[in-house]
Amino acid sequence: MMVLKQQRGLSLVEVVAAIAIVGIILLSFSHILIQTNKIAYKNNEKLITVNLADAMLVRLKSESFTYNSTITNPNNYFVDTTQSDRTIKKPPTLIKMNDKNYEVNYSASQNKQAITNASNSEKDLKLIRVIVTVTAPDGKTKGSSEGYVSIE
């Protein structure tokens, strides 16, 4: 019988151990990749809702609202009862984009008292503070933007 003096190659145990180690490493990286994908999707939805809220606020600022002394609630300036389709109301309460429906809510307030060290109030300056909140189709992701709209 001939005995080999030099051994070359890997034994079966070494190959199985190497495959097991590589498998464990790949499993841990796959979990990280899945979580990264979920986080990227949520961040994208958040970015979309914030950008839509900013766009709706800019749209409100560009429209002209006429001062009406009979309106006591500032939210009534942003209610359109003439349209039943929520996407064409002025301002719209539903935005359809990328085959998804985004809900838009407007919350308005107006301070009638002058701020400390100021001579005029928001009501005197005919300004309405508006918070535009856009909700993603999942109902969890929300983006908002805040600003002032002038009443002429």
Residue 2: inside a domain:
no
Decide: helix, strand or coil at residue 36: helix
Q: Look at residue 42 and tell me if it is in a domain.
A: yes
Q: Is residue 5, in this structure, part of any structural domain at all?
A: no
Q: Domains in the chain: how many in total? A: 1
Please indicate, yes or no, if residue 7 is contained in any of the structural domains: no
Domain of residue 127 covers: 12-150
pLDDT digits (tens, 9 = 90+) for 9-23: 778 888 999 999 999
Whether 4 maps to a domain, the answer reads no
* pLDDT, tens digit (0-9, with 9 covering 90-100), for 91-147: 888 999 889 999 999 998 888 877 777 788 888 888 889 999 999 998 888 999 999
Whether 68 contacts 143, CB under 8 Å: no
pLDDT in tens, 29-44: 898 999 999 999 999 9
In a domain? residue 1:
no
CB 106 within 8 A of CB 78: yes
Mean pLDDT of the chain: 87
Is the residue at 66 inside a domain? yes
Q: How many CA atoms lie within 13 A of 75 on its CB side?
A: 5
Beta pairing partners, 71:
none
The separation between the first and the last C-alpha atoms of the chain, rounded to the nearest angstrom, is: 107
Distance of alpha carbon 7 from alpha carbon 1, whole angstroms: 16
pTM of the full predicted structure? 0.75
